[in-house]
Structure 1
Amino acid sequence: MTENTDRPREYDAVLGGQNPPPIDAAVLGGLQGVKRRLANPEVEVRVAALSDALKYGEAGLDLIIQALQNESNQVKSTAYSLLINIRGRKFRQQIANFLPSFEFDAIAVNKLGQKISIGRRVARYFLEDLDNDIFLEMVLIPGGSFLMGSPETEAERQSYESPQHKVKISSFCMGKYPVKQAQWKAVAALPQINISLNPDPSCFKGANLPVEQVLWEEAVEFCARLSQKTGYTYRLPSEAEWEYACRAGTTTPFYFGETITSELVNYHRGETDTSEAGTTPVGIFPPNFFGLYDMHGNVFEWCADSWHDNYEGAPSDGSFWKSNDPNKLLRGGSWAYYPRVCRSAFRFRSDGRQRYPVIGFRVVCVAAWNQ
């Protein structure tokens, strides 16, 4: 049987360029050479080695999968991108099991606002490399069904939060945090798709503060540029996806329970509050049970849907709900609003033509292994 010479062999040497390698350089080729380079302290060397690993079949794939746990965000992001682009739907559907995970404390409160520790939770995620050591953290949200809207017994509910209806949601990935100003600036520097983006629109300044004063069409442009850069579909969440992700399996007004406190959420606490009002750095308050931060308070978040006065006729599959109404959906409440506006079911709207320091957004990415 003739040997396949196109496939690298384990003892092949890997030498680049015309110049001889340094005397002390590691020139061991083949799969062992890739392993040596993946252990190199230089991030650039490890990233380059990942592409070479693809040449070695299942053994090379194992190395790429292991790189998802690398301490370098750039290496992890590169490994994920390589895996997700491998042809074959069956393999892509297994990617979720390969994603790195993070642990977090799941917190709930009783009716008095006293913390109850639920214990440690685990969520899977991937990193999108925006260059210059800026990454977008995307958390895997498992598919499922839930009751959207508020029950008639919920305090301070609004009529436009009804009727409650069952919605089935497919798995997707959602930003771990609202889009940060550093992330916004990185994407604003990418080639324009439809409209220009101000790289620094926010009222409150800080790389780790959520971007705000963003129009709906600008949030859509952000997603379009990110999609073009990565080759994946980034977009605003549908209203149903947003509420499903916010609730994270809970049925209470807030994912923490019946109420919220200033130790859990950045919201308006009344006239007696003497603290300085404004946004807070993302991630300083506890996450929900999916591992998402700041879904209550801090900044409102744009959804893809048009405004409807109630849920009569709403889709049951989690898709966008369009209409001729010029107003777009906002969810989550903000630092300037009372708790009732920060509830999981609360719906708000804006025509998106004026800028407010209470409005930001977060992105979703259709689970790439389902594309």
Structure 2
Amino acid sequence: MMRLARMAFLLASTLTIASTMAAEEAQSVEDISKQINSLQTQYENFSGNIAQLEQQKQKLEDQLANLRKRNDELENARQAALDEMNKRYQLLVEDPTIDIVSAQNAYKEAVMAHQQNKENIKTQVNLLEAKNKELQQARVSKHSLINEIEVLKEQRNLARVERIQQQFNQKGTIEVSQSIVCDREETLSQCETRGKLLAKQKASKQYLSQLFDQLSESELARTNREKASPNVQILGSQVVSNGFSGQGNYGVKLSVELRGQLQETQACTLLDVDLRYCVVEAKKDEGSADGETAASIDPSVMHKLTVRSNVYDDEVLIDGVSYGSTPLEVMLPAGEHEVDVVKFGYSGYNNTIILKDANVIRVELEKAAYSFTKGEKIQDVLYRDVRGPELVVVPAGRFKMGDLSGNGLPNERPAQTKEIEQSFGISETEITVASFRNFVEDTAYVTDAEKSGTCAVLSEGKPIFNANINWREPGFQQKPESPVVCVSYNDAKAYVDWLSQKSGAKYRLPTEAEWEYAARAGTETDYWWGQNVGVDKANCRACGTPWSNVSSAPVASFKRNPWGLFDTVGNVWEWARNEADGTSSVRGGAWNFAPSLARVSTRMELPSDFASNYIGFRVIREQ
């Protein structure tokens, strides 16, 4: 397979992300677009190629079945020839004139035909095994190709930001003429100064318009111009000609040197892309509504923050720390703070404030379509002191499933309204290494990847099966609370069957509808917190975390969604099943996949015996 284009992100180890082109020479937007188009063509061809491989596999299976059927027929023929030859030998004892040569030759031919058919079966088995590997490689290559396309789109956005900055932040000289009528109250010198100032303003306006005209994405930039408000800087000016007329008019022609000024955040706004592509500047520019930045506020000053809500028994978290329920009054240092107000059965509140004076936050929480007590969870005892995964209750309800924003892949469409008729418990995290180890130690279970040496890893965008990689050693360091990976759908199903047998309750893997319903948690955006992935909110490629494009993160390293689930965005893909046809798929994105593939509606179909170090699972318990 053609080596896929490589995308490199240099991630900062702090909470910010410095996304740059890697050490190679930066590619142009046009070059990247050509690569995307080329890979997109390959991706579109994959469905046909896989269908062709499946047909070839079926043909080989049919041929093998015919050979095995033929083997039974040849064995019967061999046995019949042997019986005939033995019969002739018995007759030969009484009648030496009996001809046994023909019987010997018939038996010899039957044995040779049987042996040849066995060889043909062995050859056919090898051909079928090779075709199976080819088909599996094609399937995993298809979904890795999706990732490469999305990563290139990330790179293209970075290149677009860099290009518009280069095109805008350039020097230029423009000549303008300005005529004014001098006021009776002003001196000639004042009139001259005013004329030159108006000329410079005209030059600035014309130069700004020229800059927009010359942009590669001029039409889009003009559409968003008012949102960004870029400007120009006057570097200097020179009078070409000037003078006064007899009627008290002043005219001047100025040659003005200017430079465009477009900050990175403005570049993202003009191009209508997520600010994370400009995150380095965004962190510096981020401030309050009147332009005051958090950095300019003295953190040694304490201010009172009051939080009130329309419900009781809620919980207030400030910068991730619980301060109890409302009404709440607390003294906090000046600066930026993130405020969350949550209560089970209600929609959550989240906001980032710049505290520079006493502040009062009034929160209106809306009741959700279900109600259960705060912190309600389910956890079964399996045996001795071993417990099953912690689950949270998800209510029955109706939701819109699929691509609701227009950013999705074809297999996410059309969006449909789905009904979840029964509430269920779902594991609040992905199943961990520790939990899976309990299962293996109790049952001596061996995973598909351990048996066949086929846990896939992505290396420079290419899927590679590594016989030394499995759930115990996935190719990166993991902890007991890390999500288990290198497990196939078959392995995950064996685990839930074990949970059912040990607990006496009904455990299973989620359907795609159940998974998306729980992951959306009542939202209709690409991610449960909004339309953009942001920075340091989930573990995916170029998402600004210490684990991004390195490894999975320990479960629950990021915030819960409004229904109490961790890591429904990124970390590891999670197995689910399609109710319509029973096929297996993965949902949610992963640590080494592009953020655009971590959207709540993204789905990728994979065979049930496929395993990789970026796929895990969570479980459902029926009520």
Pairwise same-fold verdict (TM > 0.5): yes
Matched, 1:233 2:489: no
Q: Is the 8 A contact 2:314 2:342 kept in 1?
A: no
SS in 1 for 2:389: strand
Query: TM-score when scaled to structure 2?
Result: 0.36
Q: 2:619 is matched with which residue?
A: 363
Q: 1:308 is matched with which residue?
A: none
Write the letter of the residue equivalent to 1:255.
W
Q: 2:285 is matched with which residue?
A: none
Write the letter of the residue equivalent to 2:580.
W
Q: Is the 8 A contact 1:235 1:364 kept in 2?
A: yes
Matched, 1:294 2:547: no
Q: Kindly state the Cα deviation for residue 187 of structure 1 after the two structures are TM-superposed.
A: 1.6
The change in CA–CA distance for 1:196 and 1:276 in structure 2 (over 3 A counts) is closer
Gaps of 5+ in 1: 1-100, 108-113, 306-319
Q: 2:415 is matched with which residue?
A: 164
Q: Is the 8 A contact 1:223 1:363 kept in 2?
A: yes
What per-residue deviation string (whole Å, max 9, x for no partner) do you get for residues 168-223 of structure 1?
1120000010000000011222347xx64479545143100000000110000001
Q: 1:139 is matched with which residue?
A: 392
Q: Is the 8 A contact 2:393 2:426 kept in 1?
A: yes
1:328-343 matches, cutoff 5 A: 328-343=584-599
Q: Is the 8 A contact 2:540 2:549 kept in 1?
A: no
The change in CA–CA distance for 1:343 and 1:106 in structure 2 (over 3 A counts) is farther
1:269-308 matches, cutoff 5 A: 269=542, 277-305=550-578
How many residues align? The count is 240
Matched, 1:177 2:399: no
Q: Is the 8 A contact 2:315 2:341 kept in 1?
A: no
Alpha-carbon separation, structure 2, partners of 1:207 and 1:172: 26
The change in CA–CA distance for 1:136 and 1:275 in structure 2 (over 3 A counts) is closer
Alpha-carbon separation, structure 1, partners of 2:543 and 2:428: 29
> Max radius of gyration: which structure?
2
Write the letter of the residue equivalent to 2:555.
V
SS in 2 for 1:245: helix
Q: 1:322 is matched with which residue?
A: 581
The change in CA–CA distance for 1:347 and 1:167 in structure 2 (over 3 A counts) is same
Q: 1:127 is matched with which residue?
A: 379
SS in 1 for 2:501: helix
How big is the alpha-carbon RMSD for the aligned residues of Structure 1 and Structure 2? 3.1
What per-residue deviation string (whole Å, max 9, x for no partner) do you get for residues 35-61 of structure 1?
xxxxxxxxxxxxxxxxxxxxxxxxxxx
Alpha-carbon separation, structure 2, partners of 1:141 and 1:176: 10
Q: 2:349 is matched with which residue?
A: none
Q: Is the 8 A contact 1:106 1:288 kept in 2?
A: no
Q: Is the 8 A contact 2:548 2:592 kept in 1?
A: no
The change in CA–CA distance for 1:249 and 1:117 in structure 2 (over 3 A counts) is farther
Moved more, 343-352 or 233-242: 343-352
Q: Kindly state the Cα deviation for residue 160 of structure 1 after the two structures are TM-superposed.
A: 1.1
Alpha-carbon separation, structure 1, partners of 2:619 and 2:602: 19
Q: Is the 8 A contact 2:402 2:415 kept in 1?
A: yes
Alpha-carbon separation, structure 1, partners of 2:408 and 2:548: 28
Higher helix fraction (1 or 2): 2
Q: Is the 8 A contact 2:549 2:593 kept in 1?
A: no
Q: Is the 8 A contact 1:296 1:344 kept in 2?
A: yes
SS in 2 for 1:179: coil
SS in 1 for 2:376: strand
The change in CA–CA distance for 1:167 and 1:209 in structure 2 (over 3 A counts) is same
Alpha-carbon separation, structure 2, partners of 1:104 and 1:221: 40
The change in CA–CA distance for 1:276 and 1:244 in structure 2 (over 3 A counts) is closer
Q: 1:267 is matched with which residue?
A: 540
The change in CA–CA distance for 1:273 and 1:132 in structure 2 (over 3 A counts) is closer
Query: TM-score when scaled to structure 1?
Result: 0.59
Write the letter of the residue equivalent to 2:397.
G
What per-residue deviation string (whole Å, max 9, x for no partner) do you get for residues 78-112 of structure 1?
xxxxxxxxxxxxxxxxxxxxxxx9968699xxxxx
The change in CA–CA distance for 1:201 and 1:216 in structure 2 (over 3 A counts) is farther
